[in-house]
Structure 1
Amino acid sequence: MRDEIRDRCRVCAAPLAVAARGRPPLYCSRSCQARAYRRRAGERGGREAAVTPAGEPAAGGAGEGRRRQIAEAVWRIAAQRGLEAASMREVAAEAGVSLRVVQYHFGSKHGLLVSALHLLHEENDRRARARMAVLPDPADLRAVLGAVLNEFLPLDEQRRSALRVFVAYYVRSLTDPALAEVFLHASQPVEQLVAGLIAQAGAAPGTDPGREADLLVSGVTGLGMDVLHGRRTLADVRTTLDYHLDRILPAR
């Protein structure tokens, strides 16, 4: 029984290859080795938290910063060369860290891609809120609605890159259920936000804010992709967007 246990991976219990020389292996792969390291680090963190005085947060900023550094490398590769080029080794090289560091923080390529997409959502939401916070007149709901929709257009290098990354992820998500879950929010928060702004701003009689929100969000996303391809100009897209907003929110 002792030999049987020793010949299996300590993480996933998969059979281990017999070592030709030296000490026998403990893990079946680098991924399992990284998972074991993370597990031990978590246990150490729990013990340290138990003796941390109340009100003093445990140190975790360095780890989050490193995860962000690696995720940004994924974004750059996806924007420039597509998501297929974002191998663990390529991401490590782009981030300026070792492959072992990437494995330690994310475990596998799939875990890395899913986590990087979550972080991209958070980053874009943070930037969008910061831009809307400096609108000349936040009470102008038409202007706020336009600002929300503008986040889907490649108006600057950051939004252009983010849109390219999202397109790369979207294509991948069509055959990857885990990535699809990140896109397929049942609550549709953006559509709900747009619908609420339309309703508050005083839509034209007979207007269904929910239906109009679906059309606007889907339409402006597609128009943004057309701009990336060079099929349309930003000026043309903004004219189209103003046309629909004038139809939905007629001047009083």
Structure 2
Amino acid sequence: MRDENPSACRVCGAPLATAVRGRPPVYCSRSCQAKAYRRRAGARGRTEAAPPGAAEPAARAEGGPRRRQIAEAVWRIAAERGLEAASMREVAAAAGVSLRVVQYHFGSKHGLLVAALHLLHEENERRARARMARLADPADLRAVLGAVLGEFLPLDEQRRSALRVFLAYYVRSLNDPALAEVFLHGAQPVEQLVAALIRQACSADGGPAPGLDPEREADLLVSGVTGLGMDVLHGRRTLADVRTTLDYHLDRILPAR
């Protein structure tokens, strides 16, 4: 849409000089031009740094399957070559879409990376819930606790790939507050879940052992199993060795009575 008053500066409204040749001016001075640029840059920054769950334009929100298709391309690239290789052009090629489609759905590379991390969290949670539902005895709290912690281990190709992607994001999140906010989950829901399971299992078995702190144990278990999963990726440990270590700590926390 053209300005209603093309003879006035878009920033301050001052009269504009008549153009001798070329396109007519839209700003009365370099100062107003700089102000306009800063406003546009600020608006882009606010859009990219929008909080998780912020409303999106309807057209983008409707493109769920296409957004997921593009996010999956980000995951593949991150798992194989790291996030530095996930340029908009590379992602478009891996997803089998045009660069314009990627830009339409995500706006910028930063917006793409943040959205792909959100979608990865959702995908992993969906898969974890499905696996938990297939447990032989959902009332066996020890088995449930082991299954929750097992989600941090590369027990199959999907979890191996997800762990590699999370490691790529972790490195980048050290210098990116927006990614860190998504990656770190300030509320620590996993630690809270593990602590609640420990507390529930102890209560069902006569109460916790003397000196046992479920919250502290949960912190150690989640951090420990994450590190053990990384060791498996590097080939430093085997899954069998990690399972033995995990069983050792669960036996210590929830001994048979």
Q: Name the TM-score, length of structure 1 as normaliser.
A: 0.79
Change (3 A) 1:207 1:84: same
Q: Is the 8 A contact 2:117 2:183 kept in 1?
A: no
Letter in 2 for 1:247: R
Structure 2 segments unaligned to the other structure (5+ residues):
11-24, 28-34, 49-55, 203-207
Cα distance in 1 for partners of 2:249, 2:118 equals 31
1:225 is matched with which residue? 230
Partner of 1:19: none
Q: Offset of 1:184 from its aligned partner?
A: 2.7
* Superposed displacement of residue 109, structure 1: 0.2
Q: What are the Cα deviations for residues 87-124 of structure 1, in whole angstroms up to 9, with x where unaligned?
A: 00000000000000000000000000000001000100
- What is the identity, as a one-letter code, of the residue corresponding to 1:135? L
The answer for the alignment partner of 2:188 in structure 1 is 188
The runs of at least 4 aligned residues of structure 1 exceeding 6 Å deviation read none
Residue 130 of structure 2 is aligned to residue 122 of structure 1: no
SS in 2 for 1:175: coil
- Given that 2:173 and 2:180 are in contact with CA atoms closer than 8 Å, whether structure 1 keeps it comes out as yes
- Residues 168-224 of structure 1, C-alpha deviations (whole Å, 9 max, x = no match): 000000011110111232211000000000001114232100000000000000000
Assess, with a 3 A threshold, how the Cα gap between structure 1 residues 141 and 177 changes in structure 2: closer, same or farther: same
Residues 1:14 and 2:14 aligned together: no
Distance across 1 between alignment mates of 2:72 and 2:209: 43
Mapping 1:19-168, distance limit 5 Å: 42=57, 63-168=63-168
Secondary structure of 1:232's match?
coil
2:193, 2:166 → 1: CA distance? 20
Q: 1:237 maps to what in 2?
A: 242
Deviations 1:124-181 (A, max 9, x none): 0000000000100000000000000000000000000000000000000001111011
User: Residue 2 of structure 1: CA displacement?
Assistant: 1.5
Q: CA RMSD in A?
A: 2.5
Matched residue type, 2:37: A
Query: Deviation of residue 78 (structure 1)?
Result: 0.2
Which residue of 205, 213, 216 maps to 1:208?
A: 213
- Name the SS of the counterpart of 1:213 in structure 2: helix
Percent identical: 81
Aligned to 1:124, what secondary structure does the other structure show? helix
Q: Distance in 1 between matches of 2:236 and 2:251?
A: 24
- Contact 2:191–2:222 under 8 Å retained in 1: yes
Structure 1 residue runs of 5 or longer lacking an equivalent are 16-26, 36-40, 46-59
Alignment of 1:240-251 (within 5 A): 240-251=245-256
CA distance in 2, matches of 1:92, 1:100: 9
Larger Rg: 2
Whole-angstrom CA distance in 1 between matches of 2:36 and 2:228 = 50
